[in-house]
Amino acid sequence: MPRKLEAHHFEALGTNCSLFAVGLPTGRLLEGEFWVRRIGARLTRFSPDSELSRFNASPGRWTEISPELESLLGESLHAFDMSSGLVNVAVLPSLQAVGYTRPMAERQPIATELRARPVPPLRDVLAVRPGAARLEPGAGIDLGGIAKGWMADRLRDWLGPNALANLGGDLSARGMGPVGDGWPVGLGGATVVLRDQGAATSSVRRRRWSAEHHHLIDPRTGLPARTGLEEVSVVAANGVEAEVVAKTALLVGPEVAPAYCAAHALAWWLSP
Amino acid sequence: MRTVILKAGATVLTVAATALSALYVTAHLKNPAAPLQPAVLSASGATTLSAPGGTLTLGPSVQPSTAHPVTSTYAS
């Protein structure tokens, strides 16, 4: 007899989130929501009291950080290397320079004059050691481009052997799904089956406040990306890897993205 | 006289070195037909489907399904 699929939907991290698990009590999914809210509050750049904001406000010295922030900053350095510098969490000053200073749900940013503010190489401004990290003066970290995939991976593992966590479209699946052949997931207008894999979408169509202003900064220019691709969805080994590959593919543009995805992704959707 | 011999010797040596280098390089040329792109570009085993608004490519480890999706990846 197939075990029951439990689902729990909620809003957090400024987006819609869903947790699914087979054979788990609903209370376990509710605990997952609490975890998302707790970690999200720690990692947001929009709250001055968050751990990330306090870290950003303490440049030039080693600062004690939680194991979660340490893990995410380490993952960020890995993403920087994996993307040849295109996924760079030191993008905060550029995001603020183009007007993205508040959550979109709170107030639409104002379309200001675009000024190029190239992003420094992450390894030049961020160092991480066990229990502590150091940020160089003038730099700032925004984890919005990597945190959801990272959290989805941890949630998926925490929920058990047959679960799926979807945090704002960045998702991570584990196990054989509700009927035993994997987790059916929508990707680029089709349905694909995920087994121990992650998927993510990077797009310049959302979080956009003018024809030229949106949230996805190209670190090479410090300006909103204009590469000829507007949306990329990717299936990869896990959620955070899918997030990094999708963002990199969008930034390298339509000429190189198919080859890049062929080398780094398991499935991909490219939309110009 | 000695100066002329030295100049002529240096010229002969230079020309000989150039000619020998050119012969060596020509004789040891790598396969000129070798592809400039890595083979991974062909994404062997992948299936590409055209869909409204873009292209979807599925590698061999991701299967399409006719089942109703429980959720989707999307931009947020």
pLDDT, tens digit (0-9, with 9 covering 90-100), for A6-23: 999 999 998 999 999 999
Quote the CA–CA distance of A122 and A112 in Å, as a whole number: 26
- CB-nearest partner of A189 from B46, B52, B57: B52
pLDDT band for B74, please (50, 70, 90 cuts). confident
Show which of residues 219-258 on chain A sit within 8 Å of chain B, judged by CB atoms: 231, 233, 235, 242, 258
Residues 108-167 of A with CB under 8 A from B: 148, 164, 166
Nearest-by-Cβ selection for B73 from A169, A179, A193: A169
Is A185 in Cβ contact with B72 (below 8 Å)? yes
Task: Give the mean pLDDT of A151-176.
Answer: 96
Model confidence pLDDT, tens digit, residues A179-194: 999 999 999 889 999 9
Q: Would you call B58 and A18 a contact, using CB atoms and an 8 Å cutoff?
A: no
Q: Do A258 and B71 touch (CB under 8 A)?
A: no
With an 8 Å Cβ cutoff, are B58 and A267 in contact? yes
Q: How many domains does chain A have?
A: 1
In chain A, the percentage of residues whose pLDDT exceeds 70 is: 99
> Structural domain of residue B43, as residue ranges?
2-58
Question: Is A272's CB within 8 Å of B54's CB?
Answer: yes
Give the pLDDT of residue A111.
75
Q: Across residues B20-41, what is the average pLDDT?
A: 73
DSSP label at residue A110? P
Number of folded domains that form chain B? 1
CATH code of the domain containing A139: 3.10.520.10
- Residue in chain A closest to B38 (alpha carbons) equals A259
| B64 within some domain | no
Both tokens of residue A11?
């809003």
**Nearest Cα residue in chain B from A20:** B70
Residue B22 forms part of a structural domain: yes
Whether the complex's predicted ipTM is more than 0.90 is answered with no
pLDDT of residue B28: 82
* Average pLDDT estimate for B14-33: 86
Nearest to B61 by CA among A237, A200, A260, A240: A237
Q: Is the pLDDT of residue B36 over 70?
A: no
Query: Does position B22 have pLDDT exceeding 90, yes or no?
Result: yes
CB neighbour burial string for B31-42, b if at least 16 within 10 angstroms, e if fewer: eeeeeeeeeeee
- Report the pLDDT value the prediction gives residue A148, as an integer from 0 to 100: 96
Q: Is A184 in contact with B46 (Cβ distance < 8 A)?
A: no
Interface test with B, best of A36, A205, A233, A250 (most B CBs within 10 A): A233
The residue in chain B having the minimum alpha-carbon distance to the alpha carbon of residue A247 is B75
Which residue spans within A23-99 are E strands per DSSP?
Answer: 62-64
Chain B residue nearest residue A145, CA to CA: B76
Cα distances from A159 to residues A14, A15, A117, A154, B41, in angstroms, run 22, 21, 41, 9, 37
Range of the domain at A169: 5-271
Task: Encode pLDDT of A29-82 as tens digits.
Answer: 999 999 999 999 999 999 999 999 999 999 999 999 999 999 999 999 999 999
For B1-62, strand residue ranges (E) read 47-51, 54-58
Domain-embedded: residue B46: yes
Read off the pLDDT band of B35 (50, 70, 90): low
Structure tokens belonging to residue A262:
């062929």
For residue A13, what is the nearest residue in chain B, using CA coordinates? Answer: B76
Looking at residue A214, its pLDDT comes to 81
CB contact under 8 A, B76 and A15: yes
Dihedral over Cα of B36, B41, A232, A22: its sign:
negative
Compare A115 and A130 and report the one with higher pLDDT: A130
Minimum-distance CB partner of A168 among B46, B66, B76:
B76
At residue A257 the predicted structure's pLDDT band, cuts being 50, 70 and 90, is very high
Interface test with B, best of A8, A181, A268 (most B CBs within 10 A): A268
Interface of B with A (CB under 8 A): 37-38, 40-43, 46, 49, 51-59, 61-76
* A1: confidence class by pLDDT, cuts 50, 70, 90: low
